[in-house]
Amino acid sequence: MGKHAWRALTLSQIKMEHLKYYCKGGGIMFKLLIGTEISSLRSALILSHVGGLMLVFMGSMAWYVKLNCPEVALSTPDFVPYMLITAGALRILFTIVAGKGYKIAFYIVILLSILKLIELIPANMGNDFNHISDFFYIPLTGGIEIALLWFVSRKSTWNELKESA
């Protein structure tokens, strides 16, 4: 019995060490992708950049659909494609500036991420989910924002931000 208790304790300790390893930085998600671990701050900036590119892509698609589908053109306000493209471009710009070390730009990136999460609610109100875009808009864009805010909420991100100043 004592032998098995020691074995179970050791397995438990091993599992905790793996958990600590995978949760210590920001980078297990990106380690699998690029082969090297990166910090939480860099992970957040990468996700912000990807979120900006997604906004530009969604705005371009909305613009294309608005030009080529007359029934969609009547139901979509004229400013939506321009708003998405502008928000995406600003987000990419502020992410680059935040990567250069400007803290105010990092706070603006966080604010834009929170606004994007809030935007998901009215953007999908009244959808009847007839189009494939209705099914992937929330999980895709919302997932990026939630992951970004998760990396931002980590203490290691703020420690690295303090050290970079």
Query: 3-8 contacts: CB < 8 A, separation 24 or more?
Result: none
Per-residue pLDDT of the chain (165 residues; tens, 9 = 90+): 445 544 444 545 544 554 444 445 555 666 666 777 788 888 888 889 999 999 899 889 888 888 888 776 777 778 888 988 999 999 999 999 998 888 899 999 999 999 988 988 877 776 666 665 666 777 888 888 898 888 888 888 888 888 876
Instruction: Name residue, tokens 């690029």.
Output: 34
pLDDT of residue 92: 95
Domain residue ranges of the chain, discontinuous segments joined by +: 1-37, 39-164
User: pTM value?
Assistant: 0.72
The amino acid sitting at 54 is M
